[in-house]
Amino acid sequence: MLLSVAWADTPLLHDGPPETAVARVVASGGGPAWELDPLRPDQLMAHSQAGLVGISSSCQRAPAGAADLRKSVQFAEEMFERQNWEAAARHIRQARAELPCLVDETDAVQAAHLHLLAGIVAREQGRTEDVADAFDRAQRFGSDTASGTPLQWNDRLASPDRGADALARAGEALLQAPRGTVRFAPGVDPGRLDLRIDGRAVPLRREESLSLPVGYHHVQVVSSGPSGRVVRTFEIDLTEDVPIVVADPAGLTSLALGPHVNTPALGDFIRAAGLRGTTRVVAGDAVWTFDTEWTQLPAVDLHAAERTQRLLTRRRTAGFAAMAGGVLVSGLGLWGMSTVWTGPEFEQTTDLQDWRTRQYIPWAATEAVGVSALVTGAILVIRSPAPGAP
């Protein structure tokens, strides 16, 4: 679902021209330009349909409709009434496999009934761990979230001694469970996108978060499509420290980052999209970094920075030219000095030595000029950092 950003040293999220965004980050001391990976917000998701960022679909089979699920639950009930536990378990597995593949809105009452059946059948077959899991999910679909009233035992389905106490314990545990966060990402229009959690519609306004018990949840994102409503279904495992973020590619296409910088919604969206470590965000003229918290970098006059960079580039060019010239002149001086410094033993007379001394002086001066040019060029290069250097 996400574009690969594995090769980016530092992801750069921007809402304007990428060249300008990179220039602003470099001017702010954000590292060399070649280490930045400019990304638009809409590049963090697929462009086809809305969904949960960073969460893969749990569906392991073909899509299923509400009629398919209803039929599977009906077959499970028939086998349950006959106390054919093996056949009932088979149809229950079929129905539970269809839940994450639904292309229609889920009926919370039907899903709670399915998991209640699953818990009773698991108890009859001696699968203790499956009993607890099934009753937990039955409570998540069947409890009254507004009043906090847990799902009650259905005496018509089975006698209380076949799991009523276990269902009640699951309800108490759900009420006492730690809480996690579900949030809308920037760019989501709640008027166009609907959210259903555990079979119930959830009113969620823009920039608002929803607190839910940690653990299993059945999440459906409902959006408008060319042929009507499009339902995407996910089964998630919510934790305390990692929010689940609902995002909409259609709303990210022309998203202005300015109103969302320094907000938990954009920060959680960045993490849910798979960006780790430090992320740089350019919103208008401002440059921010996001890691565990938001930090705004000092404002930079981009035109002044460009002028300074051009000056440094010219100085570096002059420095390299001086170094190259210094190497050539210095080499010429060394060659000249080597030709007059010594001679054969029979030429070691006072007159010849005086002559060699007079010839040596200009070559030594040439060597000094070359060394000076080399040193001057090196100083220019060292004191004129390359673009993006710290």
Identify the CATH class of 1-46+264-299. Answer: alpha beta
DSSP designation for 100: G
DSSP designation for 347: G
* pLDDT value of residue 276: 86
Identify the CATH class of 66-178. Answer: mainly alpha
Report residue 156 CA to chain centroid gap. Answer: 49
* pLDDT value of residue 357: 74
Model confidence pLDDT, tens digit, residues 318-336: 888 988 988 888 888 888 7
pLDDT < 50: residue spans in the chain: 1-8, 346, 390
Sole residue written with tokens 């002559």: 355
Measured torsion, CA atoms of residues 327, 330, 331, 334, in degrees rounded to the nearest 10: -160
Sign of CA dihedral 153, 159, 161, 163: negative
Phi, psi for 174 (deg, rounded to 5): -65, -40
**DSSP string covering 9-74, please?**
SEEEEESS-HHHHHHHHHHTT---GGGEEEE-GGGGS-SSS-EETT------SS-B-HHHHHHHHH
The domain ranges of the chain are 1-46+264-299, 66-178, 302-382
